[in-house]
Structure 1
Amino acid sequence: MTIEQLAGGLDTVWVVLTAAMILLMEGGFALLEAGFVRQKNAVSIIMKVFVDITFGALIFFAFGFAFMYGKDAGGLIGTSGFLLNGDLSHIQYMISHETYWLFQCAFVIAVISIVSGAVAERINFKAYILYTIAMTGLIYPIAGHWVWGIGGWLGKLGMIDFAGSAVIHALGGFSALAATIVIGPRIGKFNTDGSANIVPPSNLPLASVGAFILWFGWFGFNSGSTLSAANFYEAIGHIAVTTMLAASAGGATCILFTMLRYRKSDPPMVINGALAGLVGITAGCAYVSDVAAILIGAICGVAMVFATEALERRGIDDPVGAFAVHGISGSIGTLAVGLFAIPEFTAKFGLDTAGLLYGGGWQLLGAQALGLVVVSAWGFGLTWLALKAIAAIVPVRVTADEELVGLDVGIHGVPAYSQEDDFIDLSKMIGK
């Protein structure tokens, strides 16, 4: 066996394992969102996650991957790789095209899961399936091609986004914002005078476990984006450290900030603070220093609190804080690359660029800002249009009766939790 074969085998194992870590994040999304929403809607959360994984994978295999990573056409869209067939010779890594697809498939599933939480407790299940097809097949792949596709126009302008603060999180966050506006707030969330009512989470321990699973999966999310263990073994450790520090800074900052602001440490905010730090470091995890990672995480944690409050003041109902965590923190993280990217670090990945504070001038920051605006506007605008189009086919929102009784029973016909007496009664009915 040659050195090249050993390296290829190592890279394949590395990418498959990190893809599996990212797919495990769906369990984190499921637990986090189920814990944040009311008990009567827990099953509906799980069902949406299953839609994300199943429909998302199939659609991305059929044509989403081709639009994102296929042979470039004018910097706008890929044109090969449908059903993983056709000309993909431009994708040149030590791993197979199928292995590459698996890793990228895990990413697209994460994008749609961001929107899932924002529309929890009131979206029509059929409409959600249709929107999942639109997001995984068109909205995300086309925007992704602009930045990550070989020949994409934003990539050519110099935008860099190592693991997706913009391509995944800002896109998903602004898509979530559009979805919450189109679908409207939950019944009873806001009073006639515009003031907001608190909808208590059903299970904060469950949400916390979900956050820990997401945190774990993020090491695969960021470190796995090297796509090679053989070539970037030194960078992998640095990426893992910046990921850890940013998440810790986001959570710690929220603990202290909510103690000062509310005179008590707010658990949902702290959970989202750690996630905000993770989102913020995703773009620059390979390019910035450890100290910069702490600063990015801390800023994202505080910004997330203010963004959550701002949405409620404007009558926008986001049950899990998807926009505040992903949209705002993704934006901060994307811009932070333009400030803090270190030339020695970017050079390891074949990039001749640096942040403003490291002698790179305004070029990278300008490219990051332009890319952020374009990707965010694309996600917001296309989600708005997609949901309006879907509304012409099926209702986007459940009926008031279904919402009040809960989507678990109203849509899926089964509650998340049953009492022991329910089983006793059922056994008696079977006996008869």
Structure 2
Amino acid sequence: MDGALLLEGPEGDSESSEASLPLPLPLRKGTYISLKTLVLATAFLVSTSVLAFTGVFFYQYLKPKYGGLVVKTTPSGAAVYVDGKQRGSSPLTIGEIRAGGHQIKAAKEGYREYVQQVEVIPYSTENLHWTLDPIVPHLTNEQLAEIEAWKKKVESAQKENILLPPPDDYNVLYFADRILQIDPANAYAQEVKGKVAEITRRSAEVAYAREEWLEAEKHYKNLALMFPNDISISERLDDIATKIDASLKDREKQIGEWTGKAEAAFNAGTLVPPDKDNALDALRNIERLDKKNAYAREALSRLKELLVSRGDTKISSGDWQGARGDFRLVIQYFPDDTYSKSRLSMVESKLAEAALAEQQRIQRTQEEQQSSQGMAALRQSALNSYRSGAHAKAISEWQEYLKFEPGSDEALFYLGASYMEQKQLDTAILYFERCVSVNPNHALAHL
């Protein structure tokens, strides 16, 4: 039949071959599906697959993509900002930063800011290394002298290993900051400050790795003083605070352990930092766990008395330098102790007197050396004048020499000889007689 596709059904079903049905297909005996249904099913499956593929394609294409960023600067320690938000200090590695354009800025005190638009590529890490240009101020002679004075204080605090407060106004960090206030690009102060930061950061990381939370908190707080805008330090302090709160459940056990460590330190004589396992750190850890702990309060008073006794003993023996170090330690950890302040003031006065006396002694020695050198030169010139026949000049120089060496028989003899060469015999005889009176054994003067 025209316009219809006919398939034979089961044997003997002759009528179905003559009917105008839309393509009946046998699936199994007694079951049929039309061509239209098959086409519709196939179209549905194809369209579903296309939609699924399109959805996956657009998801992969449109989903956020991320890359990485490594920022290094010379010098290091610059604050790094991404799109205006500080992310840390250089050298800094930032992971999972959204792909695309970002404004990266590095800022360090004493240096010009460095700003660059950076394109972050998906699934890759962009490396940046910038050299910051220093801002060089015009320094007066007074400012240069002031910087030198602060440098000496830095060196003094370094020798005493007082890197950080307390005391607030006598530590390496404080002195370095004072230099940078005068000269923000001062390389010496920046290097010193960088070393202090490196030492503190290393101590903080070691304490954190050992799960010594109180010690780690102390070091990270010191880091926060140096880098107050560093988000990573604030986050680490928050994390440590959480861990300390969790550890308070066994507080009594910890207090007992720190008490044992404090007593061991007292017995060993390791009282304060930089001594390892010192009594002061142990007592402060007890106070962090229990601010009203009676043992810690009594032991701190005992610790102060021991330090004061050390200083007084050194004063008695005349060891002013050692006494100054001991009383500075007392004031460093017990800043309200008036007795130690008065003793330190007295010691500083003694040291100032000793320094002045030493300076005067050195000055006298230098003057004597210069005078001796000048006299030697004057003597040689007088001898040369006499030997060359310049007797008038020789007389003048030997008379000048006698002002400094009035008992010089040599000067008296050559004055007599010079006057004799000038035919002034009476004057010559007077000088020869004076020469003999000074040195009776001067043979030439007897002639």
User: What is the TM-score with the length of structure 1 in the denominator?
Assistant: 0.21
- Larger strand proportion, structure 1 or 2? 2
Higher helix share goes to which structure?
1
TM-score under structure 2 length normalisation: 0.21
Which fold has the larger relative contact order, with Cα–Cα distance below 8 Å and residues 6 or more apart in sequence?
1
